[in-house]
A and B are shown apart, each in its own frame.
Chain A
Amino acid sequence: MIELKNVSKCYGDIVAVDNISLTIKEGAVMGLLGTNGAGKSTLLRSMAGILKPEHGDILINGEPVWNNPKAKSLFFYISDDQFYFPNSTPKEFGAFYKTYYPAFDTERFHTLLDKIDLPASRKIRTFSKGMKKQLSILIGICAETQYLFCDETFDGLDPVMRQAIKALFIQEMSERSFTPVIASHNLRELEDISDHIGLLHKGGVLLSQDLEELRCNLTKIQCVLPEEYDQKIQNALLVMKMQRHGKLLTMTVRGESEKVVGWLNTLNPIYCESIPLTLEEIFISETEVAGYDIKSLIS
């Protein structure tokens, strides 16, 4: 488990991370979402022990991360612009990591390189941006660490590759204790890969919740009902948002989908259906309650 307790980090007068407290549980993919400058990278670099927070503690499995090899050996960090030695090949790079991560699975690394068609003996500098990102994820997986910190690593990966990586993550999570923490400014990039989402804004956490829980708690309904039922619906259900276009009523309601639809059917609507909510819609609904114009915070 990764625990962040009242963590603050400043760059001169600029507060990049402001008193954040967050818990990242094991066995789930954690997505850190936020716009540019929200503090995602700073938070991730602080969690990786690169930056020393001015205030607060960052604990990985109970160990403080700052200058602590024991805690640092539990994660692998992939930055938004990962460094590769000039003229090195994936094979050499793997050998390098073997020195720092003695549990590094070289055999698996080579197998995975073959699987996703990355040439082990080609110079990394000749790789495309996407290939470099794939390589860094493979190294991260093969380092056999408990946590994998990815900073904007999935940006630029094609959907097929993202699914392949997701499959790899799932495989890892099923075989051993593995928790990826992925930071991105793109909600759609995280949508299909994350189990838990933390929304960062101006150095603080607006929201941190399991995606399933979020999805389960909110239901989007489209139904055709006369206008006189509106007040009755609002009184009976926890309506987050209600829009009417003529007889067509679109609502976002807190509660389980089946129960909500069941209750609405008692009103004999001409038409009533539950529609899946996108992550963006969930965020919009959740954060609007808190008074944020979330549309400007997520892309």
Chain B
Amino acid sequence: MTLRVSFPKLIMETLRRHVVAVLIMVLAFFIHIISFFLNVQNLINTRVIEDINMVLSSSYYPPTRDLEYVIEHLTELCSPNVWNMILAMAIGVYLAFDFFRYLHSKKETDFYESMPIRKQTRFKMLFIACIGVFTVFTAITLGIELAIIYGFGYGSTIIVKNMLWSLVCMIGAFLACFTTTVLAMVMTGHNIIAFLGLGVFASYIPLIISNLVPLYADIFFKTYVHREISEKYFYFSPVTLAYKATYHWNYHTEIWNIKDHWTYLLGCFVFSLVIGVVAYLLFLRRPSETAGRAMAFEKFNPVIRFMLVIPAALYAGLLLNEIAAYANTAWLIFGLVFVAFLMHGIMECIFQFDIKALLGKKKQLLFAILFCLAFVFVFWADLFKYDAYMPNEKDVKSIQIDSYIFDEGKYNWEEHKDWLTGDSVELALNAIKDIKASSNPSDNSDYTYMNDFTVTYKLKSGIEKQRCYAYYGNEFPESLDKLSATDDFKDDFCILYHADEIEITSLQVTNGPQQFKLDLTKEQMQELCEIYLEEYSKITLSDSISKKQVFMLIVEYPIEGKDFSGNESYTIYSDFTNTISYLKQFDVVSFAESKDIKIEYLEFYSDKYGEMQQEYINDEVLLKELKQYMILSDFMRYHKDYGEDYVNCTVRYVLHGDRRYMDIYLNKNDVANLINQ
């Protein structure tokens, strides 16, 4: 009769056979505990010194920390954080490598595979041993760290709760990396190839695939708007999943909370489950004789090679396209073909462990090159009419047109944007058509670049499309002026139009070098805003460039959920007579004159000697000339375009005994003249 092999005994025996890996893990956790203890001690001692300072009325060193600060930072220390995540990920990779390494050795494979246990049992045994030992030691480590906190007398339910989340996050990060490494080990027959595979698994989708289409679109499409990489890609890599599940930062606090991270944390577990199941199924089917070879499943080799050769070739094409000053597309094609050939050969050499394989599988190489060329052709020929896109009015639900020319000085809160709808859609589409028509001026055109307009179409089907049009012309089209004069257009980026939703906390007026806070009651503030809006609502885009600016009205308002205020700047033009008359009541028009301003120096960066370096101008005569640029009414031209022709400079000046700084934009030629003088 056959005696049954005990599963718990197998697990214990497995751990005994990997005692070095377990000890290294324990050492890592021990260092973690020491580091934690030191951090807690330092934080708490900082507060003790603060108390001494208070008693002695001492100076500000060492920095004073209040109790709230200490508790907040202790809570942060106990919360899921990137360091814990890195530790969990590193252990996950290490344990998977150590426990499944036998698959890459013929000697060890023969040894283990001849044992009287099922493959399923072996996989479960290795899996449970790794997960179990990690979970137990993580729980012990966090338990000790919790005891340290309680030992110092700072324990609380929040800290316990965050410690538990920390445990969950560490297990999630561990599992994601562990299962991915196991998959890499199972799919390959050699340790180095497994590490390369792990690198590919970790970066393929969020780094390689996600950027490919945007980068090509950026090169070939004139109207392409580069957006941030969609977060959905982060769900396909253990590294990005673990990072997003644990890394926390917002304006308010660095303390992790489940509300912001639950999708990624859940993603870690779902990802681990899926990859774990795939690894398990492949483990059962893995031929033992592949130990020592590059790949365990040779049927997948063409697919794997294809998946790596295509992006490598396309990125190489991009790189040469960027480097080349002329004939970019030709260089792109050359880079693409060359790297496709090279990468294909390298992959085949790796697969066969033979340099002679460099020229192998020619048909597959040809297919890969043709695929790459077809990919480039799709973008080059704009087969999907990306640049020509213009939606039908009946399909559009709403439109948003963004440009710094509109919202200069505005905070531009997305939540206040209610988009252009109804009749404004038609106006907007007309304006966009005119802008679009100017986007391709002929070479001998007298038109100059004026601005970029980013247009977002929200279609009735729920699809959102975005395009960016460069506008060339001597003046803005009438259709755009007509649109910009509507309240529907302006209320998308002016918080003043939402004054009923927010509570304005203060109003200030500036002419550039000077700024005054208006001492107004709520009613007066409201009255001033209404007067201003009445005049501002008539202003068109062309007006905003051609009209003379005199002041800026700075509106300060609280931001919901934040512990700081937002502010927006509104230009007061010379013909805003009602607004100026209202302000006169508060004597705010009596700003200092140029003669009252003493400029000490002008600072800017210059590449005069081939590399960027700071330049200072101290010459009094030259600096006197600068004053014209400081007064708001005189430097309004920068409002028109301060692109590549203008240099950002900092002026240090003294006004009424106060030393101040101000950023101004000077024409490049003016700056060049200043340097030469």
Which A residues fall within an 8 A CB radius of B? 11-12, 45, 48-52, 67-70, 72-74, 76-77, 79, 81-83, 85, 96, 99-103
Contact = CB atoms under 8 A, between A and B. Distances in A.
A100 B115 contact: yes
A50 B113 contact: yes
27 contacts: A12-B298, A45-B110, A48-B114, A49-B113, A50-B109, A50-B110, A50-B114, A51-B287, A51-B289, A67-B118, A69-B118, A70-B2, A70-B116, A73-B3, A73-B5, A77-B114, A79-B111, A96-B13, A96-B17, A99-B6, A99-B9, A99-B10, A99-B13, A100-B5, A100-B116, A100-B117, A102-B3
Contacts of A81: 107
Given A72-B116, A100-B117, 9 more contacts: A12-B298, A48-B114, A50-B110, A50-B114, A72-B115, A73-B2, A79-B107, A83-B111, A102-B5
B20 to A, nearest CB: 9
Contacts of A68: 118
A92 to B, nearest CB: 9
Interface centre among B3, B109, B116, B287 (most CB of A within 10 A): B116
B4 interface: yes
Contacts of B109: 50
A85 B17 CA distance: 8
A69 B114 contact: no
For the side of the interface on B, what is the size category?
20 to 34
A96 B17 CA distance: 9
A74 B114 CA distance: 11
Contacts of B118: 67-69
B410 to A, nearest CB: 67
Nearest to B4: A102
A72 B114 contact: yes
9 residue pairs, one from A and one from B, having the closest CB atoms: A102-B3, A73-B116, A83-B111, A72-B116, A77-B114, A50-B113, A48-B114, A99-B13, A79-B110
B10 A52 contact: no
A182 B287 CA distance: 24
A101 B10 contact: no
B116 A103 contact: no
Contacts of B10: 99-100
Contacts of A100: 5, 10, 115-117
Nearest to A66: B119
A73 B117 CA distance: 8
B534 interface: no
Given A51-B287, A96-B13, A82 B111 contact: yes
Contacts of A72: 114-117
A49 B111 contact: no
A49 B115 CA distance: 9
A96 B115 CA distance: 11
Contacts of A52: 287-288
Nearest to A48: B114
A101 B116 contact: yes
A48 B109 CA distance: 12
Given A72-B116, A103-B3, A50 B288 contact: yes
Nearest to A84: B111
Interface in B267-299: 284, 287-289, 298
Contacts of A99: 5-6, 9-10, 13
Contacts of B6: 99, 102
B15 to A, nearest CB: 12
Nearest to A63: B2
B634 interface: no
B276 to A, nearest CB: 20
A67 B114 contact: no
B395 to A, nearest CB: 57
B641 interface: no
Contacts of A51: 287-289
Interface in B657-677: none
A101 B13 CA distance: 13
A70 B5 CA distance: 10
A107 B457 CA distance: 82
B418 interface: no
B113 A83 contact: no
Contacts of B9: 99
A83 B119 contact: no
B108 interface: yes
A164 to B, nearest CB: 25
A96 B111 CA distance: 12
Nearest to B3: A102
Given A52-B287, A96-B13, A83 B108 contact: yes
Interface in B1-33: 2-6, 9-10, 13, 17
